Amino acid sequence: MMTFFGELGCQFPPFPFIAHSRGWSAEDMENNTRFVRRSRDLHEGAAALVDRCIETSRALLGVTPPTERRARGGRKAHELDVRAQI
């Protein structure tokens, strides 16, 4: 989803993910939920992500958006020259 919204022009902070894993054999959600609630590392990671979000928003709010339109990149952004294919 972040790739999709990034293509629309949305901005994300650096390192926007928080993840954990107890391994493939730990498929029990009640223990996964308990582990996440009690994990100090995950709480610190979430707090650090909030800090990065705030820093990113401050940087974006301090920048004036460009007034000129940018040309879209890629093959899908431009019409094909069908006459060249004949």
Residue 20 or 53, more confident = 53
What is the pLDDT at residue 26? 72
In a domain, 74, yes or no: no
Angle, CA of 83, 85 and 86, to the nearest 5°: 70
Rounded distance between C-alpha atoms, residue 42 and residue 82, angstroms:
54
55: domain range? 13-66
In a domain, 81, yes or no: no
pLDDT in tens, 34-83: 888 898 988 998 999 999 999 999 888 887 777 787 766 666 656 666 67
In a domain, 73, yes or no: no
Q: Number of structural domains, the chain? A: 1
In a domain, 17, yes or no: yes
Rounded distance between C-alpha atoms, residue 68 and residue 66, angstroms:
6
In a domain, 29, yes or no: yes
Q: Which two tokens stand for residue 7?
A: 């293509």
For residue 5, how far is the Cα from the chain centroid? 8
In a domain, 19, yes or no: yes
CB-based contacts of 33, cutoff 8 Å, min separation 6: none
What is the pLDDT at residue 53? 92
In a domain, 58, yes or no: yes
What is the pLDDT at residue 82? 64
In a domain, 28, yes or no: yes
